[in-house]
Structure formats: structure tokens, C-alpha cells
Amino acid sequence: MTALPRPRGRLSAAVVSALRDGSALPPVTGADPFGEDLAVALHTCYELHYHGFAGVPAEREWDPELLAFRRSLEAVFLAALRDAVAGGDDVTGVLDELLVEPVPGAGVSHFLRDNGEWWQLREYFVHRSIYHHKEADPHAWVIPRLRGTAKAALVAVEYDEFGGGRGERVHAQLYADLLRASGLDDRYLHYFDDVPGPVVAVVNMMSMFGLRRALRGAMVGHFAAAEITTAPSAARLDSALRRLGGTDATTHFFTEHIEADAVHEQVLRHDVIGDLLDREPELAGDVVFGVQATEYLEGRFGDHVLDAWGAGRTSLLRALPDHPGPA
């Protein structure tokens, strides 16, 4: 179990204090929906539904005051997400758009493939560890909210994500292996205090979609967006590592995703989303929202990372120690 995170403002300090000693929680007013403070406060609340924190009783997961506080944080975050995206109900169109790069070659994985240095790859691995330590976990919450083919197909995808019944092949474990092979600490959420708000916001979105039955369509949309974009991104990261002398120990996580996620894309588009919308066509707008919210938050993350690297500085809150390289 991890320690409670370092607060980054009034709200995150309040929730950490509440979990430590039962302090009262303040009203959520004037919070930046995409700021560091709200992101850490919300992530801390959500983590009670995952592995929890050292010294915090498991019963706090269902503490009414903490749940009310989380709901207030979510309301701010969710409203801002809805305002930030175009919306609509053209599911096919929004999924097809994911296959077209708005600015060819402009993403983080493109930069890493073509020009990235080892220290930048390691920073990227740290950023993504906040999700990959719990890869596929938030998506499992949507399973009991689905029926028929949509449920069966999504379970089939999750079965792959969880290693096909083999613990050493669980994707979260493969990522831990990647961290270790890259000279990084593989402990669960070890680097949380080192990553910026845009990274945390992406993970918060997944937790929020997974925990709220009303957002099941958004979760399915998010899952499809993630699977559609992961295979080409993983191929670019594999190329970046091989260019820098990486071995199978560092590339295996990405090569696993190149093939698997290309298959998952088709399953999610046709079997999960197709069957879900046949049963509940009114969820089309939520599916679109899930796709667009994912792209919006990933865009904010990418802008943060590339802006920092373009200025010659670390994209983390604290620079990593030097490391000789993947070989």
C-alpha cells in the first residue's frame, strides 16, 4: 500500500488530512477543474476504491463525507470536460477521426520515435505508470453495466489485458517489468508525487467513467479510443527504444500492445459499441463524449510534455537521476 500523496493545494490538503485524522472537508468552490489541486484531491478519493493507502482503514472507502466531497469534485471536473468538447452523436465519425492525425507527426510518441533521448523516454514511462499500474482495472467496473454481446466482447478484451489467466502476462505486470528494465522503481504509484496534473486528470477520467453507471457509454467510448490509438503509438515507442539500443526487456510491453490492441479496436468498435447502441441507442452521445474527453485530456498531457522538452526542461515535477541507457 502506498503513502498518502503530497498535497498540492487547499482541496488535496483537506482530503489528505481527513484520511489521516478525520478532519472536516471544505466546500469545493473556485477550484480549477484541470488544476493540480483538484486532480490530486480527486485521485486520492478514487484510490480508496483501488488499493487504498497505508494507515487508512478500508472502511473509509464508503465514508459518506468523503463520497460527498468526491461527488463535488467530480461535478466540477465533469462539467468542465463537457464544456471542453464538441459533443454530438456521430459515433462512427468520431471513431474514424481517431485514425487521422490532425497534425501528422506532432504527438509525443512521434517525437520520441524520431528525436527522443533516453531521459525523455524514462520520463514518459514515469508519467504513464500512474495508469499502467492499474491498467484495465477501471474498465472492469463497466462489465456489470453491460448485457449480451457487448458484455461478452468487453470481457474478452479484459481477459487479454489481464494476461489470459497468467499473472506474469498481466499488462500491469508487463509495465512493471518495463520500469525495472529502464532503471525505474516499479512499485505501485511510486512516482505519483512526481507527475503533473494533466497525467492525473487522464486517470481520474477513467475512474469517474468506471465508477458511475450513468457514464457507462462514456467509459465504452473511452476504451475504444484508447485501443484505437494505442497500437500505432506502441509501434512508435518500440522504434524509439530500438533506435536507442533497447532490448526485448524494454520493448516487450509495447510489442505486446501492437498486435493485441489492433484486434481489440475491432472488437470494441463492432461488438461492444455496436451491440450497446443496438440495445441503448440513447447512449450514442455518451460514447462520443467518452472519445472526445479522452482525446482532449491526452492532448493536454501531450502539450505539457512537449512544451517542457522543447524548453529543455523536465516534464516531471522532479527530474529523474541520470541513467546510462537501455542497454
pLDDT score for 327: 66
Cα 184 to Cα 182: distance, rounded to the nearest angstrom:
6
Same domain, 125 and 201: yes
Q: List, as one string, the DSSP characters of 161-224.
A: HTGGG-GGG-HHHHHHHHHHHTT---STTTTGGGS-HHHHHHHHHHHHHHH-GGGHHHHHHHHH
Neighbours of 269 (CB within 10 A): 17
Q: How far apart are CA 70 and CA 273, in angstroms?
A: 29
Residue 4 domain-assigned?
Answer: no
Compute how many other C-beta atoms are within 10 angstroms of the C-beta atom of residue 271.
19
Name the stretches of the chain with pLDDT < 50.
Answer: none
Asked whether residue 146 falls in the same domain as residue 53, the answer is: no
Q: How many structural domains comprise the chain?
A: 2
The widest CA-to-CA distance across the chain, in whole angstroms, is 54
Are 137 and 187 in the same domain? Answer: yes
DSSP 272: I
**All 3 cell numbers of residue 82?**
463537457
pTM metric for this prediction: 0.96
pLDDT, position 144: 97
Please tell me what DSSP assigns to residue 56: S
Looking at the fold, whether 292 and 172 belong to one and the same domain comes out as yes
Asked whether residue 44 falls in the same domain as residue 95, the answer is no
Looking at the structure, tell me whether residues 181 and 43 fall in a common domain.
no
Cell of 94: 468520431
**Whether residue 302 sits in one domain with residue 252:** yes
> Are both 117 and 49 inside the same structural domain?
no
CA distance 14 to 66: 11
Neighbours of 67 (CB within 10 A): 13
Domain match, 96 and 49 both? no
Does 324 fall in a domain? no
Structural domain of 220: 87-310
pLDDT digits (tens, 9 = 90+) for 36-68: 999 999 999 999 999 999 999 999 999 999 999
Residue 326 φ/ψ, nearest 5 degrees: -65, -25
Domain identity same for 76 and 223: no
206 plus 295 within the same structural domain: yes
Pull the grid cell for residue 115: 528525436
133 & 69 share domain = no
Tens of pLDDT, residues 160-182: 999 999 999 999 999 999 999 99
